[in-house]
């Protein structure tokens, strides 16, 4: 791909993302579309996120139990699980599942609309496709991904609790006391900001790739795959950058 094409694609992506975000505060407001997207993104992803985050918490607690038991430090399982899940694993794992399910759905749906000339019909009726199609999906992601992250973090902590107490035979009181101790404003903020950024990235990337679909069914496959891959890469990269910035701003020593 030529450099000029890459710059052109980046420019188009930034303009679409900006107009999609500005559509949140500009009339007309498509409340029904936004609610439908929230239902699809939230309720439809709940079971998958519940299962994935549960076993991530259990696996993390199991690994820590195996390592810390030999050192006589099993009392720190709750603290390490809590910090890892609240700051990193909860937001990142939930965002990855969200990108794989909701992001792929966004890209394929919009790509099908492009190939079926439905987007052109929206323009014919005098409506803004970005306002009608992109903004509701950004709103749905901005609202539902943080909510799903809270649920995912809680489920991961419960999974860690099960392994720590019923497998490693740690005191339940010690575990939950450690969890409460790490739920400081700094740790909660470090994990709470990320889902909003991830939500914007996933929805904007997948909407852009969907609306850029060309070339029939093969082009639809290519745009959907690219949307999911780019979303996953950007989640990981932005997580590192956000972690570095937040650790500095919140006063953590590195």
pLDDT at 67: 86
Question: How far is 17 from 230, CA to CA, in rounded Å?
Answer: 15
pLDDT at 242: 93
Query: Where residue 128 falls among pLDDT bands split at 50, 70, 90?
Result: confident
Tally Cβ neighbours within 10 Å of residue 118.
13
Residue 28, preceding bond cis, omega within 30 degrees? yes
Question: How far is 225 from 37, CA to CA, in rounded Å?
Answer: 21
Query: Where residue 250 falls among pLDDT bands split at 50, 70, 90?
Result: confident
> Taking a C-beta distance cutoff of 8 angstroms, is the pair 98, 46 a contact?
no
> Is residue 233 predicted with pLDDT exceeding 60?
yes
Please give the share of the chain, as a percent, with pLDDT higher than 70. Answer: 99
Residue 188, judged by CB atoms within 10 A of its CB (0-12, 13-18, 19+), counts as middle
More confident residue, 42 or 237: 237
Which ranges of the chain would DSSP assign to H, the alpha helix?
A: 3-22, 31-42, 46-69, 77-84, 90-98, 104-115, 118-124, 129, 135-162, 172-182, 185-192, 194-211, 216-249
Query: Where residue 159 falls among pLDDT bands split at 50, 70, 90?
Result: very high
Give the global pTM.
0.91
> Is residue 15 predicted with pLDDT exceeding 70?
yes
Query: Where residue 140 falls among pLDDT bands split at 50, 70, 90?
Result: very high
Which tokens hold the place of 35? Answer: 């609610």
pLDDT at 1: 55
């Amino acid at each position: 791909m030529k450099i000029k094409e890459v710059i052109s694609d980046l420019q188009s992506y930034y303009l679409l993302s900006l107009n999609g975000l500005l559509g949140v505060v500009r009339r007309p407001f498509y409340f029904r579309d936004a609610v439908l997207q929230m239902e699809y993104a939230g309720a439809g992803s709940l079971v998958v996120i519940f299962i994935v985050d549960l076993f991530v918490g259990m696996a993390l607690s199991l690994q820590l139990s195996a390592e810390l038991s030999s050192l006589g430090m099993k009392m720190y399982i709750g603290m390490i699980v809590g910090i890892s899940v609240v700051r990193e694993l909860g937001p990142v794992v939930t965002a990855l599942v969200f990108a794989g399910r909701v992001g792929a759905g966004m890209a394929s749906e919009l790509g099908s609309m492009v190939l079926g000339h439905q987007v052109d019909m929206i323009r014919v009726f005098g409506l803004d496709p970005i306002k009608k199609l992109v903004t509701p999906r950004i709103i749905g992601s901005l609202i539902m991904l943080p909510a799903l992250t809270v649920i995912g973090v809680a489920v991961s902590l419960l999974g860690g609790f099960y392994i720590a107490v019923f497998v490693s035979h740690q005191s339940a009181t010690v575990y939950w006391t450690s969890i409460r101790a790490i739920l400081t404003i700094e740790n909660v903020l470090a994990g709470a900001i990320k889902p909003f950024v991830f939500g914007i990235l996933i929805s904007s990337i997948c909407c852009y790739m969907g609306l850029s679909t060309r070339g029939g069914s093969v082009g639809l496959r290519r745009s959907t795959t690219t949307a999911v891959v780019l979303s996953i890469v950007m989640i990981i990269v932005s997580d590192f950058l956000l972690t570095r910035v937040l650790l500095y701003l919140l006063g953590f020593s590195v």
